[in-house]
Structure 1
Amino acid sequence: MSDVPVVFGGEVSSETLHLSEFHGTRTRGLDGLAIPPRSGLGGRVMEQRRPAAVSDYGASMSITHHFDRPVLGEGLKSILAVPVVVAGVARIVMYAALRERGPLGDRVGDIMTTAARRLGQEISVRDEVDRRVRLLATTRSMLDSDVSRTAELRSVHEELSDLARSIGDATIRRRLDAVAARVAASFGQDIPHDIRAQEVSQSLTPREIDVISQVALGCTNIEVAARLSIGAETVKSYLRSVMRKTESHTRYEAVVACRRLGVLPS
């Protein structure tokens, strides 16, 4: 929006809007401003969950004037505020502003509204991914704290698997693997019987498993990178390694293969 000199915004946390992103401002008066519901233009938008505008901020009778000093100190007069609403709650408020009186116009309003809608959809998707991750963590926690018998069986299974890997004799190793699989089956874990499958699952590094787990939840490479605090190219490298080890040609095939191997939950 080259015809709008100032845009800014921030996230809503604990029912308070925190301004943190700015473009075109000349002062730091708005930086870090905390805006409660119903206060100023942003607080009104956050409370009502719909766009609102003023053509002369300092003289407007439709808003409170708690923030006149930083707003007028920046020289802003005509301001449009648009909320990003997810599941009926304002999560972000975006502003477009002019330093002269008068309406911003329909074009600016349409652009801001479209951007808010798209951002809301993206946040909604990320919220769902986060929900699934929390659900998975809760499920794992419940399983881990189930009963002492399950914990003991897991320990026996791990010891048998470690012993099998240390045995050079293929026949004995297969017998130990079979016993380990029977122990695993007793507490509901499906362990691959095929030696090659076990070798593949054991060859996956913890970081590769982290990456393919996020992919299985529907995350893009960029989202995986953000969640694991690594670069997008690093994510691609780990993913290629998983695909090579599982002899998969696509991300989807790699996820299916890892589920079949027991690396990911079915």
Structure 2
Amino acid sequence: MNRSVAADDQTRIQRTLARLRDATDLPLTFGGAVNSGMQLQLTQFVGAIAGALRGAVLDPGRGLGGKVVTLRRPQLVNDYVGSQGISHHYDHIIQAECLRALVAVPLVVRGRVRGVLYGAVRSATPLGDRIVHSVMEMARELEQDLAVDDELARRLRWLDERVPEPRATGAPEPAGTHREQLREAYAELRVLAHNTDDPTLRERIEAVCHKLSTAGGDTRPADGAAVRREEAPLSARELDVLACVALGWTNPQVAADLGITVETVKSYLRSATRKLQARSRLEAVVAARRRGLLP
């Protein structure tokens, strides 16, 4: 699948356009994704439109959007039809929508243009610096979100290919180096998960984290009796903290990566230790691994 036109991108663009319209009071914000042929398709709109823009495909270098895709930098026109700085292949669409001033900003992720955001007005009033800055600022935020989504998806694909199915009781534990790699991947995924608000991606992360927690840990306590995960439930945040602690991170390091205070880290750690009936952070990690809560 071409990642640039994935549904995830369209959803992200739509949310950003809604935020942009609320922040600027622009009558219309719109945009879309760029395909592998460098064509921009306008699919996302916030505000009233006549319909001429919907689904329009802009070729590289043509019109305002095509120019933005080619140059990979923002462009502003305060009178679209009268502008000498763009081609006029799409004047009929702009005139049908009665648009005058437009700003367009590319979404560039890892050196590739993934989409374009627009802000537009139907009056002869020029777009001010505040509006142009707002469009650019939100475009930068969206670029970061898309980059995080890409990294999470990449890690999930890698883990899907390499993480073994849960071990049967009594099966040998993975070799030391492989085991540590699984534990590091688990902790990193839990940290990265907090940088995405995509529920579908988060569900995939949780599923892979579950595979990781049961792939490398000893799910039996010292007396050999089976222990169910439900007997020592930890909250998502408690697991986040414990997964980082298991790698030898200090409380300040855990706090910095999870975006919480050191005191909050201590609180989650105390709670997890109590639930696991442990006396120290090390015992808590060992107990969580025995219960299949951590890899």
| Counterpart among 224, 227, 237 of residue 201 in structure 2 | 227
- The 3 A distance-change label for structure 1 pair 187 and 46 is same
Identity %, equivalent residues: 32
What is the aligned partner in structure 2 of residue 245 from structure 1? 232
Offset at 1:67? 1.4
* In structure 1, distance between residues paired with 2:120 and 2:114: 20
* 3-state SS in 2 of match to 1:59: coil
What is the aligned partner in structure 2 of residue 97 from structure 1? 120
* In structure 1, distance between residues paired with 2:292 and 2:35: 36
Query: 1:140-159 maps to which residues of 2 (within 5 A)?
Result: 140=163, 158=168
Does the aligned pair in 2 maintain the 1:57–1:79 contact within 8 Å? yes
Q: Give 4+ residue runs of structure 1 displaced > 6 Å after superposition.
A: 186-190, 241-244
Higher fraction of helix: 1
Offset at 1:27? 0.7
Does the aligned pair in 2 maintain the 1:215–1:224 contact within 8 Å? no
| Counterpart among 6, 13, 28 of residue 35 in structure 2 | 13
Does the aligned pair in 1 maintain the 2:62–2:88 contact within 8 Å? yes
- How large is the RMSD of aligned CA atoms in angstroms? 3.7
What is the aligned partner in structure 2 of residue 83 from structure 1? 106
User: Given residue 81 of structure 1, which amino acid in structure 2 is its aligned partner?
Assistant: A
User: Given residue 220 of structure 1, which amino acid in structure 2 is its aligned partner?
Assistant: H
In the alignment, does 2:92 pair up with 1:69? yes
User: Given residue 201 of structure 2, which amino acid in structure 1 is its aligned partner?
Assistant: R
- Structure whose alpha-carbon radius of gyration is higher: 1
Deviations 1:125-175 (CA, angstroms, capped at 9, x unpaired): 1111111112222334xx79xxxxxxxxx9xx74xx3xxxxxxxxxxxxxx
* In structure 2, distance between residues paired with 1:259 and 1:134: 26
In the alignment, does 2:68 pair up with 1:45? yes
Offset at 1:39? 1.4
In the alignment, does 2:26 pair up with 1:4? yes
- The 3 A distance-change label for structure 1 pair 108 and 186 is closer
In the alignment, does 2:137 pair up with 1:114? yes
What is the aligned partner in structure 2 of residue 128 from structure 1? 151
In the alignment, does 2:192 pair up with 1:218? yes
- The 3 A distance-change label for structure 1 pair 252 and 244 is farther
Normalised by the length of structure 2, the TM-score is: 0.57
* 3-state SS in 1 of match to 2:34: strand
* 3-state SS in 1 of match to 2:81: helix
Deviations 1:89-127 (CA, angstroms, capped at 9, x unpaired): 221211111112352011111111111111111111111
Offset at 1:262? 9.5
Higher relative contact order (CA 8 A, sep 6+): 2
Normalised by the length of structure 1, the TM-score is: 0.62
- The 3 A distance-change label for structure 1 pair 263 and 29 is farther
Structure 2: state its 5+ residue gaps.
1-22, 180-185, 205-227, 247-284
* 3-state SS in 2 of match to 1:28: coil
